[in-house]
Amino acid sequence: YAAPYRPHPHAHAALHMHDRDRERERERDRERDRDRMRERDERERRERDRRDDVSLLFEERERERDRERSRSIKPERIREKSYRRERSRSRSRRHKSRSRSPRPRERSRDRDRERSVKPKKDKDKEEDK
């Protein structure tokens, strides 16, 4: 160790405690994963048992047919459309009316403002005289 980083002689006990805590947490995680796996297996087993029922088997077959139908729709096109929708939504309501041309024509509001300002200036000049 370089001088400034030399650990305190009693530091190792705390480090070991930290390791022990970490080990305990790891064990807890392992147990939780085990429980989750067990629950999932039980759920799957229950579903399998339920599927043995003939009417449910028929429903499952129908579901498969629906899935096949939905698969026939091309996912690329769907993705493309959703992307286009996102793009159109990204422009805020305020900016939608503005044209995308490099130099948009003068907006009517600005023109009105200029028109309203000029006569006022003239009046001011007349008052000054």
- Farthest-apart Cα atoms in the chain, separation: 102
Residue 31 covered by a domain: yes
- Distance between CA atoms of residues 121 and 129, nearest Å: 13
Which range marks the domain in which residue 34 is found? 11-44
Distances (CA, A) of 31 to 27, 62, 117: 6, 39, 78
40 and 62 co-located in one domain: no
pLDDT of the residue at 53: 74
| Residue 6: per-residue pLDDT | 72
pLDDT beneath 50, residues of the chain: none
Per the domain annotation, does 121 fall within a domain? no
Residue 18 lies in a domain: yes
Residue 55: the pLDDT is: 73
Alpha carbons 49 and 51: distance in angstroms, whole number: 5
* pLDDT in the model for residue 45: 92
What CA dihedral angle connects 125, 126, 127 and 129, to 10 degrees? 90
